[in-house]
Amino acid sequence: MNKNLRKAVIAGNWKMNKTRPEAKALLEAIIPLVANAKDKIEVIACVPFTNLETAVAVTAGSNIKVGAENVHFEKSGAYTGEISADMLSEVGAEYVVVGHSERRQYFGETDETVNKRTKAALAGGLKPIVCVGELLAEREANITEEVISRQIKLDLADISAEDVKKAIIAYEPVWAIGTGKTATADQAQEVCAFIRATLAKLYDNATADAVTIQYGGSMNAKNCAELLSKPDVDGGLIGGASLKAEDFNVIVQAAVEG
C-alpha cells in the first residue's frame, strides 16, 4: 500500500462552537499560517451550518476548503430542522462529516442512516468524511476489528468504487474523542490498515489505495507528528485542537512534512 498515492487531509471538526464573528476571526488567523500547504495537502474546516456562508466567503482564494458537520439523506421535503446536500453544495460546502460518534451516541444515528447520508452527500456533489470507531468496551472485549468491519460494510453498502474514492474514512475510536486519551500511533496504524484491507476486499487494491483514511481522537500539536508518520494514517480529523489557529497549524505542518 503506497501512501504517496494519496494526498494527506487535515480537517477541523469545530462541532457546536463559534458564532459567525468568532468563525471569521479563527479562519482569518488560520489562512496565512497554512498557506504553504497549498498543493501539498488538503486543509478543511468543517463548521456549524450557521457558519458555512461566512466560512466560504472568508476562505475564498485560500487553500482552505469548507465542510459541514451533518447532512440529511432526503433531497427535500417535510423534514423540519434538516439540511440537504443540495443546500450545502449551493452554499459552497465541498465536504461533510457523516456518522460522527457524537451523532451516533446522542442523535440516534445508525449504520443505516450513515449509509443513506453518505449516498445523499455523494449524489449532491459533496465529499463525505465517514466516521467509524469502536467504544472502549468493544476494544476491551477484543472486537475492534469486528466492529469496524461491520461499520465499513454497512456504511458503504451499495456505494460504487468510483464514489468511494471521493469519500474520506475517519477512524475515530470513541474512547479517544475529546478525552485527551489518544490512540497510540501503532493502534491508529493497525486499525487504519485494517480499514484499508477491508476496502480492498470490498472493492479492489487500487480503490483501497486511493481512499484517504484519517485518524481522529485527541490528535493535537504534541502527538500529531508520530500519528501522521504512519503509512496508513493519511491525515486527521481534529476536534478541540482545530479551535486554536496555532495548534491546528502545527498539525497541518506535520502533515506537510509527511
Query: Does 219 help bind ligand PGA (rule: CB under 6 A)?
Result: yes
**64 versus 238: smaller Cβ distance to ligand PGA:** 238
> 207 by DSSP, 3-state: which?
helix
Taking CB under 6 A as the binding criterion, the range among 32-40, 80-88, 210-218, 244-252 that sits at the site for ligand PGA is 210-218
Taking CB under 6 A as the binding criterion, the range among 18-26, 58-66, 77-85, 217-225 that sits at the site for ligand PGA is 217-225
DSSP 8: -
Taking CB under 6 A as the binding criterion, the range among 56-64, 76-84, 201-209, 213-221 that sits at the site for ligand PGA is 213-221
Contact by Cβ (8 Å): 39, 6: no
**CA–CA gap between residue 159 and residue 255 (Å, rounded):** 29
Half-sphere exposure of 115 (CA within 13 A, CB side): 14
Among 218, 223, 249, 253, binds ligand PGA (CB under 6 A): 218
Quick note: the x/- pattern for ligand PGA over 178-197, rule CB under 6 A, is x-------------------
Shortest reach from residue 110's CB to ligand PGA, in Å:
18
Active site residue 172: yes
**CA–CA gap between residue 66 and residue 163 (Å, rounded):** 20
Question: Which residues are bridge partners to 213 per DSSP?
Answer: 169
Query: Does 168 help bind ligand PGA (rule: CB under 6 A)?
Result: no
**118 versus 218: smaller Cβ distance to ligand PGA:** 218
CB contact set of 183 (below 8 Å; sequence gap of 6+):
173, 176, 191, 215, 217, 227
**CA–CA gap between residue 19 and residue 54 (Å, rounded):** 10
Query: Does 239 help bind ligand PGA (rule: CB under 6 A)?
Result: yes
Strand duo 9-13 + 64-68: pairing: unpaired
Question: Residues in the site for ligand PGA, rule: CB under 6 A?
Answer: 13, 172, 177-178, 216-219, 237-241
